[in-house]
A and B are shown apart, each in its own frame.
Chain A
């Protein structure tokens, strides 16, 4: 493991074997430019990567916003946007244009600097996360050796932006929303981090590509199936990440029926759009992290074949998780703030600690690539699921359909 210094950051990009960007710059661009100082090559790689990501990644929210509206429409027996473009496909673009031309209102009593800064903090942080996500073997901006740690750190900074937005708006609803958000995100970081830790304990590396590399032997080598504890950890990770990105049933910071719109009540125009884009970017990012950590990342589902692997496989799996989030959002009501905290502190955190203990013991018993471990793990998961189903079925069947008495 190399040391984590800014200089090594550049070097790593240059040295990373199979990094398409550095290859491209070294082999194609630099030879064509005479007397090009080689040291500047890294800078060129940086610019190329950044340029591509700045161009491509903001398109994700554009697509996701439309997808969300269409998915919601589907759930609700309506058609969703249909007017702009064929089947309403250009609706988000039209909304974007509208938002750009809207009045940029700044509350006169608010803290102007913080108010202006907050959307950029959130926006920048949620996009910085994309730097460490391995979309495929080649497409990764920077393959840190501490990739997942970096992601956790950066995504925690988002809460700063939320608090800045809420505080500087000088609105009581915004303040309530931002404080709710602070409490929620800080709380749910813990089960999130702990469930990531179970993966790291099995893999023994913080690097995203290393984590993916251990899952290269097809479906059953995915970390979610490696041990019953990672299976549990995946669900804790997924639910916590919904809470992290403030979506129903955990959308208390922006609960429109309670506190109007939470921390972004006072924002309008493009600043509001930045929050909006950041929210969808976040959603994609946490799903991508979930796929990378638990669902095999860019590796295919069959050992030795590249079936559903690479970039398309990765994107399909990620969008699957995103769809699950949308499904939950349009089905479930919202939790109350104390119930939210109960869920985190009384259930998720103890289970996460139990997971870590269990993973440690699992790691002592089985080797990482032990075929037996996967078999035993899958058996335990299967038996556990069946018994959970039976127990749940009994609980729910015992609850009779409540009938009011008739006289």
Chain B
């Protein structure tokens, strides 16, 4: 018995054992798009697990909302997704308006002119948001130049927004019942003509630029090597995680709220909804980082087309604000969702008939999409984590609210 033990003890087993390293990526990190903290469990370069920790930008939007009247909440929605603040304003205003429309006693209609202005400005804002996403994605992957190209064009858009509402980032432009009149723009006036001309000039300039950006980054072989086939999110996974917008369409689900549940006046416009497909020549599969990125590039073209249709029709005459005595939705509750650049932006509003809401919940698209990161990133490399974060295009202001 003892002798066998001694012989056994002589067998030296080689157990190649490497320690896992726990690294905190963020909250201060160049490419986590804000203050996201990822707890990475690394085996060398390979990520065994990436646990997102959020809340570093939590500004108590929902708690604040309970103590403010409805119009006062709109500036807080600006601070949610500060990259596409117009769309956030609109999402909230739409929800409140829908709830007010549910009240049979009072009746109000949003003026045509306001609807056109809303669509025009929000589509421009969508372009600005996708431009930022494109630029920072390039930078995340090491290409610096697309970033400055994107910012050059975004700057022109911001100047347009400044002309219409006086602010460059947090607009508070779309109000309940219409749009802000803080900078008056009389129908048919020279101001309006100048404004529309400037938009047209921008669109004429910008449309060929998209092709240039595709040449610069999308068709770059290093870029496609970094993104093609990385972190494939299947359609089922995307639906289950509640990924919406470009992320859902990047997973091959043909779904766009602007077309499928048309709100406002989107049913009057003719536009395509880009949906990802397998591209065998490139190796791109539906749901990978490349597809999600490409959807955004294609969506910019569609936004340009919507803007052009509005410009061709011209803005209708009339006021930009509905006749509203007070914003006082009836007792009730409503969940309304709209298509923000990052996906389905929902607002759940509970009202008790007073000017202040009882409960406002912002259902943020980034919040849901980011929760898929943990599953997406398993077994990939550190550099891929960056590629995923950039491709699902998060804005931490919206995740943390």
Partner of A405, one of B142, B275, B281: B275
Partner of B275, one of A252, A330, A404: A404
**Alpha-carbon distance A162/B148, docked complex (angstroms):** 31
Partner of A76, one of B30, B149, B222, B275: B149
* Residues from 263 to 294 in B contacting A, C-beta threshold 8 Å: 272-277, 279, 281-282, 284, 294
Whether the pair B145, A330 counts as a contact (CB closer than 8 A) is: yes
Q: Among the interface residues B138, B142, B383, which one has the most CB atoms of the partner chain A within 10 A?
A: B142
Asked whether any CB of chain A lies closer than 8 Å to the CB of B384, the reply is yes
Partner of B142, one of A76, A334, A400: A334
Whether the pair A333, B277 counts as a contact (CB closer than 8 A) is: no
Asked whether any CB of chain A lies closer than 8 Å to the CB of B31, the reply is yes
Known contacts A173-B23, A404-B277; is A333 also within 8 Å of B298 by CB?
A: no
Question: Of A254-262, A345-353, A382-390, which binds chain B?
Answer: A254-262
Whether the pair B295, A332 counts as a contact (CB closer than 8 A) is: no
Question: Of A16-24, A225-233, A335-343, A365-373, which binds chain B?
Answer: A335-343
Minimum C-beta distance from A230 to chain B (A)? 26
Known contacts A339-B225, A404-B295; is A257 also within 8 Å of B275 by CB?
A: no
Known contacts A333-B217, A339-B225, A400-B281; is A257 also within 8 Å of B274 by CB?
A: no
Asked whether any CB of chain B lies closer than 8 Å to the CB of A299, the reply is no
Residue of A nearest to B384 (CB): A336
Whether the pair A402, B226 counts as a contact (CB closer than 8 A) is: no
**Alpha-carbon distance A358/B91, docked complex (angstroms):** 68
Asked whether any CB of chain A lies closer than 8 Å to the CB of B386, the reply is yes
**Alpha-carbon distance A365/B277, docked complex (angstroms):** 54
Partner of A172, one of B23, B217, B279: B23
**Residues of chain B lying within 8 A (CB to CB) of residue A76:** 144-145, 148-149
Whether the pair B31, A331 counts as a contact (CB closer than 8 A) is: no
For the A-B complex, the count of residue pairs with Cβ-Cβ distances under 8 Å equals 110
**Alpha-carbon distance A336/B45, docked complex (angstroms):** 10
Per-residue CB contact flags for chain A residues 167-197 toward chain B (1 = under 8 Å, else 0) read: 0000011001000100000000000000000
Minimum C-beta distance from B7 to chain A (A)? 40
Asked whether any CB of chain B lies closer than 8 Å to the CB of A406, the reply is yes
**Residues of chain B lying within 8 A (CB to CB) of residue A252:** 383
Known contacts A251-B142, A336-B383, A338-B381; is A407 also within 8 Å of B275 by CB?
A: yes
Minimum C-beta distance from A394 to chain B (A)? 12
* Residues from 7 to 33 in B contacting A, C-beta threshold 8 Å: 21, 23, 29-31
Residue of A nearest to B298 (CB): A404
* Residues from 64 to 86 in A contacting B, C-beta threshold 8 Å: 72, 75-78
Asked whether any CB of chain A lies closer than 8 Å to the CB of B339, the reply is no
Per-residue CB contact flags for chain B residues 346-390 toward chain A (1 = under 8 Å, else 0) read: 000000000000000000000000000000000001111010000
Per-residue CB contact flags for chain A residues 242-257 toward chain B (1 = under 8 Å, else 0) read: 0000001101100111
* Residues from 103 to 159 in B contacting A, C-beta threshold 8 Å: 138-145, 148-149, 152
Per-residue CB contact flags for chain B residues 212-242 toward chain A (1 = under 8 Å, else 0) read: 0010111110110110000000000000000
Partner of B382, one of A248, A258, A398: A258
**Residues of chain A lying within 8 A (CB to CB) of residue B273:** 406-407
Partner of B281, one of A180, A255, A399: A399
Whether the pair B145, A257 counts as a contact (CB closer than 8 A) is: no
**Alpha-carbon distance A200/B29, docked complex (angstroms):** 46
**Alpha-carbon distance A41/B97, docked complex (angstroms):** 93
Whether the pair B142, A248 counts as a contact (CB closer than 8 A) is: yes
Whether the pair A402, B282 counts as a contact (CB closer than 8 A) is: yes
**Residues of chain A lying within 8 A (CB to CB) of residue B294:** 402, 404
**Alpha-carbon distance A76/B135, docked complex (angstroms):** 12
Residue of B nearest to A76 (CB): B148
**Residues of chain A lying within 8 A (CB to CB) of residue B186:** none
**Alpha-carbon distance A138/B113, docked complex (angstroms):** 79
**Residues of chain A lying within 8 A (CB to CB) of residue B219:** 401
Whether the pair A335, B226 counts as a contact (CB closer than 8 A) is: yes
Minimum C-beta distance from B74 to chain A (A)? 34
**Alpha-carbon distance A205/B336, docked complex (angstroms):** 78
Whether the pair B272, A255 counts as a contact (CB closer than 8 A) is: no
Interface range on chain A (Cβ under 8 Å from partner): 35 or more
Residue of A nearest to B40 (CB): A172
* Residues from 257 to 303 in A contacting B, C-beta threshold 8 Å: 257-260
Whether the pair A402, B279 counts as a contact (CB closer than 8 A) is: yes
Asked whether any CB of chain A lies closer than 8 Å to the CB of B207, the reply is no
**Residues of chain A lying within 8 A (CB to CB) of residue B197:** none
**Alpha-carbon distance A121/B280, docked complex (angstroms):** 49
Residue of B nearest to A248 (CB): B142
**Residues of chain A lying within 8 A (CB to CB) of residue B279:** 402
Partner of B272, one of A173, A257, A407: A407
Per-residue CB contact flags for chain A residues 31-73 toward chain B (1 = under 8 Å, else 0) read: 0000000000000000000000000000000000000000010
**Alpha-carbon distance A228/B79, docked complex (angstroms):** 61
**Residues of chain A lying within 8 A (CB to CB) of residue B145:** 75-76, 330-331
**Residues of chain A lying within 8 A (CB to CB) of residue B21:** 172
Minimum C-beta distance from A15 to chain B (A)? 49
**Alpha-carbon distance A401/B210, docked complex (angstroms):** 13
**Residues of chain B lying within 8 A (CB to CB) of residue A339:** 225-226
Asked whether any CB of chain A lies closer than 8 Å to the CB of B323, the reply is no
Minimum C-beta distance from A404 to chain B (A)? 4
**Residues of chain A lying within 8 A (CB to CB) of residue B386:** 257-258
Per-residue CB contact flags for chain A residues 131-155 toward chain B (1 = under 8 Å, else 0) read: 0000000000000000000000000
Asked whether any CB of chain A lies closer than 8 Å to the CB of B254, the reply is yes
Residue of A nearest to B249 (CB): A404
Whether the pair A334, B141 counts as a contact (CB closer than 8 A) is: yes
Minimum C-beta distance from B133 to chain A (A)? 15
Known contacts A406-B273, A407-B275; is A258 also within 8 Å of B284 by CB?
A: no
Q: Among the interface residues B143, B226, B386, which one has the most CB atoms of the partner chain A within 10 A?
A: B143
**Alpha-carbon distance A404/B220, docked complex (angstroms):** 18
**Residues of chain B lying within 8 A (CB to CB) of residue A334:** 141-143, 222, 226, 383
**Alpha-carbon distance A78/B42, docked complex (angstroms):** 39
Whether the pair A260, B30 counts as a contact (CB closer than 8 A) is: yes
Known contacts A257-B31, A260-B29, A402-B294; is A336 also within 8 Å of B381 by CB?
A: yes
Minimum C-beta distance from B348 to chain A (A)? 29
Whether the pair B141, A333 counts as a contact (CB closer than 8 A) is: yes
6 A-B pairs with the lowest CB-CB distances in the bound complex, closest first: A334-B142, A406-B272, A404-B274, A257-B31, A333-B143, A76-B148
Chain A residues in the interface with B (C-beta under 8 A): 72, 75-78, 172-173, 176, 180, 248-249, 251-252, 255-260, 330-339, 398-407
Q: Offer 8 A-B interface pairs, CB within 8 angstroms, sorted by A.
A: A76-B149, A77-B149, A78-B148, A180-B45, A258-B383, A333-B138, A337-B383, A404-B275
Given A260-B29, A407-B273, 17 more contacts at CB 8 Å?
Answer: A77-B148, A173-B23, A180-B45, A257-B31, A257-B142, A259-B382, A333-B143, A334-B143, A334-B383, A335-B222, A336-B225, A337-B383, A398-B281, A400-B281, A404-B294, A405-B274, A407-B272
Chain B residues in the interface with A (C-beta under 8 A): 21, 23, 29-31, 42, 45, 138-145, 148-149, 152, 214, 216-220, 222-223, 225-226, 254, 272-277, 279, 281-282, 284, 294-295, 298, 381-384, 386
